[in-house]
Amino acid sequence: MNERLHELEKKWLNNTITPEEAKEYADWYARHQDDEVTIPAGFAPDEETHGKRMLRGIRRRAGLQTAVVNMRRIVRWSAAAAILAIAAASAYWWLRPSATPIAATQPQPANDRLPGREGAILTLADGRQVVLDSLGDGEIATQGATSVYLKGGQLAYNPTSQITTHTSYNTITTPPARTFQLLLPDGTKVWLNAASTFRFPVAFTGKERMVEVTGEAYFEVAHDAQRPFTVKAADAAVRVLGTHFNLMAYADERKVRTTLLEGAVRFTRADRSVLLKPGQQSGADAGGPDAPSAVDVEQAVAWKNGYFNFKGVPLMEVMRQVARWYDVDVVYEGKDMHDLFMAEIRRSNPMSDVLKALELTGKVRFRLEGRVLTVQYL
């Protein structure tokens, strides 16, 4: 078996592996993920070098300038998971930059969905709505003593020297297949994921900075020890002074999840609170937040960085992300097998590329009719 494995590894690195051999290679790792890796001295001096060689192979064939995957995530995973190993049969379209032409052996389906893009609808304090998708840089509105303008695709709020005691609110909505960025009056940066809504004051005038979100948002909060920053999501709240964190609060997810990257936050729901440290996440259902646990924060913010990161993710959760980004309605056929999936895929790819990667597991098949995506369990 070791001889066969080394043969497949050489073919993989030389880009001569067949689709059948690529599946054999992935299946082997799925069955033996806890085994020690034995590497012939002539092939690589140690496991770290071996992994780096394979990663270079991925980057070379995918045309990447920067590493986008962690090798151990690919070659080591739970035996219960449906493994998507990046191999010659799939790496070309799985990780290629969006500008790269599609290979002749992988024709693009006529019925496909393009990826989402930047865009949002801004609702002003008087109810007027502004579609931000196609506007150029410059001032788009004045809200009291605050100028609202676009610069480089980011919405920004610039308070003037005038003093106001009246608090006006704006709302930004990202439809499915849209994301957007904004800069709040205090310097806080906000990224909105698809199908999200963000309500905020056009100027922070009180002793507390408070905003509201549904959907998902990433925050880089400007530090202000005198004015705590609070994000409300339905009956949950995250309170900070200055920090970087992600908040996911979609209505179709079972829990509201907060993931902390820098600083500290207090996460509250149902009169229960937990304090998170960097690298921790807590999920809260109607009963309150779970105890914080260490997580891969890169997975939580992958959407902000332009990727899907399906690391040990159930299929229905995968499909909820796909539905939001490609604006499709998902239906299911067959019996849910409760497998977990692992893949890291560019969000700039068309939907068919994501579905091809998932189909490599042999566990599911997809059918797209208009905007309806049918998931067939095999």
Q: Are residues 319 and 233 in the same domain?
A: no
Nearest to 278, CA basis, from 261, 257, 295, 302: 261
Rounded CA-CA distance 263/279 in Å is: 10
Boundary (domain end) residue, out of 95, 130, 156: 95
Instruction: Give the model's pLDDT for residue 109.
Output: 59
Long-range pairs for 142-145: beta carbons < 8 A, 24 or more residues apart:
143/168, 143/170, 143/202, 144/168, 144/202, 144/203, 145/203
Percent of the chain with pLDDT over 90: 55
Alpha carbon distance 341, 81 (integer Å):
6
Residue 205 lies in a domain: yes
Same domain, 126 and 61: no
Burial status of residue 187 (CB atoms within 10 A of its CB: 0-12, 13-18, 19 or more) = middle
What pLDDT digit, counting tens, does each position of 67-107 carry? 333 333 333 332 223 333 333 223 323 333 333 333 333 45
135/174 same-domain check: yes
Asked if residue 279 and residue 213 are part of one domain, the reply reads: yes
CATH number for position 292: 2.60.120.1440
Residue 131 shares a structural domain with residue 226: yes
Residue 254 and residue 130 share a domain: yes
58 contacts 69 by C-beta, under 8 angstroms:
yes
Least confident of 39-48, 168-177, 207-216, 274-283: 39-48
Cα 317 from Cα 339, distance rounded (Å):
11
Residue 146 lies in a domain: yes
Q: What pLDDT digit, counting tens, does each position of 166-201 carry? A: 789 999 999 999 999 999 999 999 999 999 999 999
Boundaries of domain holding 328: 315-377
- Say which residue the tokens 């995530």 belong to: 73
3-state SS class at 98: coil
Residues 355 and 225 in one domain: no
Grade residue 282 by pLDDT with cuts at 50, 70 and 90. Answer: very high
| Residue predicted with more confidence, 336 or 58 | 336
Instruction: Quote the number of domains for the chain.
Output: 3
193 within a domain of the structure (yes/no): yes
Tokens found for residue 288: 């309150």
Long-range CB pairs of 100-106 (<8 Å, 24+ gap) are: 100/63, 106/356
- Cβ neighbours of residue 261 closer than 8 Å, sequence gap 6 or more: 243, 244, 245, 246, 278, 279, 297, 301
Same domain, 140 and 169: yes
CATH number of 347's domain = 3.55.50.30
Assess whether 196 and 294 both reside in one domain: yes
Last residue of one domain, picked from the residues 273, 299, 325:
299
